[in-house]
Structure 1
Amino acid sequence: MGAFGHLLRPAAGPIRRWVLSAFPRPQTGAIDYDHPAGDPGLFGPSSVTWRVHADFCGMLAGGLCALYLQTLHPRALAGVWDHSNFREDLVGRLRRTTAFVGGTTYAPTAAAQEMIEHVRRIHARVRGSDEAGVPYAADDPDLLTWVHVSEMSSFLAGYRAYGPLDVPARIADAYLDETRRVAEALGARDVPGSVAALDAYIDHVRPTLVYGERSRVVLEILARLDLPVPLAGLSRDVFLHAGAALLPPWANELLGRSEQDLRKARLASAALRRMAPLFRAALTEGVASRSCRRVGVDPGILDRWPTTP
């Protein structure tokens, strides 16, 4: 826990219990992150991705930010609207997304590839029309690219806001270049591999984004998200508003966020920055650390950027 570990230790147990309550380990079918020895998975310990995805606060806030962004794409939103039970189990959807990102990042190669194939099979069955009657398919390469970009840009923003390390341009570019391999394996195309390419892509897509009635309904459900944790309402509001603080100005404008909304986001962001070291000190035995040991490296490598990403 570092130089101040003795000061942080009393909070470690409650924080671990909080996280395991919100994101419990599956009782069956759990991925074996400890074997086989030496298997680096899709990225490995020399990747930027292993470091970015190891930061709980940045990833949770970033994931919530991504949900805001994903509600703005009419066809991407229609797939969720028509083919998921998000109205009754938004927590379950959030957990499944978390499990997929964690698995494709840290799981042994075969398990990660099976997760990708499983999602591809699901996407092949998801068809319909959006609110305006435009047909969609979940395996449409363009939709897959939007979902990926909304997530990775948000995770990167989350790490920059709440993570332990500054993110130089070369690291941000390496992260986007690395993570696009999962999107491409799912069927995405023209996936941005640098910050400049990501900015250009978003500028291209923005005219097609809409804040509609379905967007409003989904965000209302998100605002009532009920995690099974102590102080559930406070926990939700801190992370949800801290996630909203990561939204770019154009998204705030499109979502019609008020000055009060923006003020809540700033306050939550400041609060999460103060809390983040407690989470890092408490969460030292997650899948990132276990995966480091699987490939025979000290988990301490996650505390510094690779020298040649």
Structure 2
Amino acid sequence: MAALLVSPTLLVLGLVIAYPVLSAVHSSLYSVPDIDPKTGFIEKGDPFVGLDNFTTIFTGAGDRFWNAFWNTSFLTVTSVILETVIGLAMALIMHQGMRGRAWVRASILVPWAIPTAISALLWRWIFDSEGIANSLLNTKVLWTTEGFQAQIAVIIAEVWKTAPFVGILVLAGLQIISQEVYEAARVDGAGPIRRLWSITLPLVKPALLVAVLFRLLDALRMFDLPYILIGAGKESVETLSMLAQDEASNVRFGPASAYSVVLFLYVFLIAFAFIKLLGADLLGARDEAGGKKGKGGGARKGHDGGEQGARKSLRPVAGDDRNRQKEATA
């Protein structure tokens, strides 16, 4: 019965994920048709070359590939770090009980609701030589040309666009934290920073890890924002996705598929390492607890364990207060 119920989902996943991946792997084993020296016409069909396309990536086209690889990694790491910090700050602001909180939440989510292509066009106008950015900075920086400033422009636009996504996921994690933990911390004398470090961050860690993982997977496939904002063929912002698209647009589908397969493996390894190294408590501990407690027990145990850990981390504060009270009494 379980296999029967899961089979529709597996069928859909096979159609939208497994088939394209296998098709890309198959295409990567073929090259571009060459001219037949006997007839002078283009050969029919794509010639089978095996792993030659992958070999070319790391040899003949190595400089361009490694440039795109490091661009992708740099833009991903930098933007995700900034998005995590800003998104966490947004979530803390949206979680506060204040007048007009609904309007604040709606305004913060506006950038995420704008399509990426439209967002790239807006920032292209902002970073124009006569745009708002140069007017505010009183400079004449050519943001959309080759150079480090182009990477800065892409990072700013990417962070503005996707930081609200991190904020909304972290906000969902904040709303399930019991207020009793904060009240106990206040009674024990913990200040706002101590409550943030010892209570909020440990208990919101599962939601924060999910947000960071989603953003890593999405940022590694970055294409439309730098392609529209800066343009194609710019060495300073060319990513692996842009490299694969450039090969495909020139009817070199074999090399393009090879680049796509390499990008897929890169994303897969990053996701696997992230879950293994940082998400072990998010998946493994919860499953282990679920096996002992039954359905729902693992999640509850993990949450209760986090609250107990937060209380333990605040015990030194309570002990210091009691010592100060004894000294005052003496």
Whether these two folds match at TM > 0.5 is: no
Q: Which has the larger radius of gyration?
A: 2
Name the TM-score, length of structure 1 as normaliser. Answer: 0.24
Q: Which has the higher contact order (CA 8 A, sep 6+)?
A: 1
Name the TM-score, length of structure 2 as normaliser. Answer: 0.23
Q: Give the helix-richer structure, 1 or 2.
A: 2
